[in-house]
Structure 1
């Protein structure tokens, strides 16, 4: 048997195919010259020192040249040495004579019979081979063949599963997501052992080629919702995706709003629960925080421990969270309105105490609040940046010393220190950090309104705030559902949580999309660009009349 003759026939057939014009020459492809391909890969990667090329000879009498290529640090070295290189070195002349014929060439034999690795496939496109090497795979090239064998050998150093750092619970699972997409997917699959759990893979980022996974449960998630999420992800056009916050900002319905319309979590149990409720989960490589959508206002006040505790305890804790949010956004502004414009609403004894404290203070209540709130935000931000060993101590001691010093200096009244401290503590009672930040932003707006118009300004601000929240949509789902529109089923697990036997196992109504329009965006590198909105088809199947014209543009 003449193996070289087989190679020549395969080569000439492909040359004839290229000459006939049937092959797509627009896509760069590999060549059958091994040395030329290796030089091209080495030059493309800038002669990187972590690029490892292991050349071997297949067979003994008339050996074939082959090479295994990978990047050190991205692969599992034991897998490469034992199951890739070891398999190539273990090929003998007897194995070649028994298995290679005119219809079964060398690369097919190596792929289907010789390699002892679990996952491997043929690849002919140059860009895909290069991306495989950069993704931690091992590529096998054989002299005389213009296709490569790509082996799944990803590995290297990775952080192990540990306890969550931001979403702690007293009772509940203690594992959290990590920076590996494969590990995060496995953490969800361990909890949902269903054949209806769907997984889709995408690569986003022209430079980073970040792995992104889309997960949902068939028949639970709305098909139009899944299609809308998939389309928005495919429209992302940026150089790099380094964190889930990049994707969150690029696919959200409305940019200019203080409220988050996409939830995030580092807890696998939270992601699994939301999947069962009909939501979609997006997992991004390189970050332990997954995106959960659609998200409504009440979702940000639910904790993972709500379903591990008795329902009466959960009801109390949820009421505390909602009250804390009201204190967060209205606490300082109500104090300013009372002490500046509405003295008659304060009891006489308390009013006399407040006026006596303000006797030697040179600033009005509005300026006091701005100074204290600004100082508190500086201390909070500094505490995040400080070393963990001293950060908490410095933050607490700094706040106490600063509060005592400004009171003794006659710059701030003691009551204002109490109000600002209570407001800061209330922000930590909200389970979702992004919702707490939203409350902190809104608080300054109410401070200005209270300082200018008193309770009239606060009332006007509340009307505008509620109208804005009612206008928000999260992938077609009203942001205030199940409050607006009202849903009797959704009320069972919104502000309160009824006993588990009273909750139905069907998906919650807050994940159902309304008929209407959900705006989409396409982001270009370096700047934001509005493109054709994603029109959510109504139940009749009719589309918005302007959609076709916008798509053509």
Structure 2
């Protein structure tokens, strides 16, 4: 045990190592250059350029080729110095002259450590080391290739905005700022990953988000120690409450409008560089059943669609288990004519119902996974043709009964009705243990499985918020946005997890005939 504590302490020290004495910049450019060349040994994309000055001193320019905007660097800094010399003769400090020369650049700052220079250069910025100065100037000239803003392929809508997040953090935050033009929208920055130095920002609206939730997000992100963060899923693994629960406790989305709507409900967004997926916490069970389009269509349409989703969710979880339980243990519940048809279809099938269902479910999941991983032109064809050919051949060969093919196909279609992929995946996983319980104990096994899931959901928390809230614990004022989607003018208050600012819409805005007559 002592060995593991020592090993853990060494790892913590490695990630939290303090700056050593050799990390400080010196006033001699040659010494700084040697230390930087040692740091960037065998890094052929790091450019060192020495720029002579009028008084025989020099400037050392360090930048990363391909990531630094060299055109701006040449036009604003190098050409004026090389061809015009130092125009500010009356200023004694060369550092001040260079700083004034960099005024056209949006952001310029000074750093005093070698490690800080290394980090800034690797982010695409240009570092200026000046003879006689122990502080380097950093010009923000990062220029990375960016993907254009497109509609998210995983969250398409018929009515709603068509823009989606990209892999660039600053573009993603600007898409959020474009919708919420308020200084109360706060964002705090973190850097994670010993090697990747990935930029992470948390966004929340002051006064709407609860301080306790914001502080918990800060705490969980701040304690992450990892060598790399390549996608937001790396962070999700560290901040969720119950890692081994099949249900997701952190929402992810590619849509800026979903993030803004969540921020206005008191939630916190986590934006990670190099990925278009933004994390939203806390997440509730009902969030996974809601689509962005629910709030753009009329309330009566959305309410109808939500009840269809609830029905499809139950079918996706329980339909194969109910079929196996009824045909194996409770045949008396089937009407006589239907029972004769099912028995005739199952005649000659060598497997019991539960094995038959497990085989078909496994094959359906295999076809779905193959359709996702294959190239788009081939994937859809493989999924459709594979399902038709294999299903028809299995029935004709007498290995699988025709009713089972219908049950599994209906279950697969129903599983696509869940708007959030990760919540639908949780139900796809839970379908198998409930199917086994139904094959062993009939309806009693299904009840055991469903009750176990409900107990787990009731005890599950996401950043301290009940996963089934506002249904359990119940809040009558907010249920109108869970099972129903009430008209916008009637949803006057924010959800329970919001902070001090509870009012969303002032009362008294219901449309009426009398109001129309007064207008006339």
Given the two structures, how large is their TM-score scaled by the length of structure 1?
A: 0.85
Distance in 2 (alpha carbons) for counterparts of 1:365 and 1:434:
29
Shift of 1:27: 7.0
Task: Give the direction of change, closer, same or farther, for the CA distance of 1:88–1:221 in structure 2 (3 Å limit).
Answer: farther
For residue 61 of structure 2, what is the aligned residue in structure 1?
68
- The answer to whether the aligner puts 1:508 opposite 2:495 as a matched pair is yes
Q: Secondary structure at the match of 1:199?
A: strand
Flag the 1:113–1:78 CA change in 2: closer, same or farther, 3 A.
Answer: closer
Matches of 1:415 and 1:335 in 2, distance apart? 9
Please give the per-residue CA displacement for 1:292-333, whole angstroms capped at 9, x wherever unaligned: 000000001110111111111101111111111111110100
Aligned to 1:207: 195
Question: CA 1:374/1:118 → structure 2, altered by over 3 Å: closer, same or farther?
Answer: same
Pairwise CA distance, 1:114: 5.0
1:98 aligns to what SS in structure 2?
coil
- Indicate how the Cα distance of structure 1 residues 468 and 491 shifts in structure 2: closer, same or farther if over 3 A, else same: same
- Are 1:53 and 2:40 an aligned pair? no
Q: Distance between the aligned counterparts of 1:194 and 1:64, measured in 2? A: 48
- The answer to whether 1:116 aligns with 2:104 is yes
Q: What are the residue-to-residue correspondences of 1:182-201 with 2, within 5 Å? A: 182-201=170-189
Distance (whole Å) between structure 2 residues aligned to residue 184 and residue 319 of structure 1: 33
Distance across 2 between alignment mates of 1:403 and 1:512: 54
Assess if the C-alpha contact under 8 Å between 2:112 and 2:134 holds in 1: yes
Separation in 1 of the partners of 2:164 and 2:336? 53
User: Which residues in structure 2 correspond to 1:515-534 (within 5 Å)?
Assistant: none
Structure 2 residue corresponding to 1:78, chosen from 65, 71, 80: 71
Which residue pairs with 2:511 in the alignment? Answer: none
CA distance in 2, matches of 1:289, 1:195: 24
1:429-444 map, 5 Å: 429-444=417-432
Q: For structure 1, which runs of at least 5 residues remain unmatched after alignment? A: 1-23, 514-553
Q: 1:85: how far off?
A: 2.8
Secondary structure at the counterpart of residue 163 of structure 1: coil
Cα pair 2:86 2:97 within 8 Å, conserved: no
Query: 1:154: how far off?
Result: 1.3
Cα distance in 2 for partners of 1:322, 1:86 equals: 66
- Measure, in 1, the Cα distance between the counterparts of 2:78 and 2:438: 73
* Alignment match of 1:450 (pick from 426, 438, 455): 438
Task: Tell me if structure 1 keeps the 8 A contact 2:367–2:382.
Answer: no
Q: Does 1:98 align with 2:60?
A: no
1:25-36 matches, within 5 Å, as: 26=21, 28-36=23-31
Q: Structure 2 length normalisation: TM-score? A: 0.90
Determine which of 468, 489, 500 is the counterpart of 1:480: 468
Distance in 2 separating the partners of 1:511 and 1:336 = 45
Cα displacement (A) at 1:512: 6.9
User: What is the distance in 1 between the residues matched to 2:185 and 2:21?
Assistant: 37
Please tell me whether the aligned partners of residues 76 and 101 of structure 2 are also in contact (alpha carbons under 8 angstroms). no
Alignment partners' CA distance in 2, 1:157 and 1:247: 24
Counterpart residue number, 2:168: 180
**Alignment size in residue pairs:** 482
Shift in Å, 1:109: 2.9
Task: Call closer, same or farther: CA 1:94–1:328 in 2, change over 3 Å.
Answer: closer
Change (3 A) 1:211 1:91: farther
Long gaps (5+) in structure 2: 1-18, 501-520
Match of 2:292 in 1: 304
Question: Does structure 1 residue 278 correspond to structure 2 residue 266?
Answer: yes
Encode CA deviations 1:429-482: one digit per residue, 9 max, x unaligned: 111000010000010111011011000010111111101000000001000001
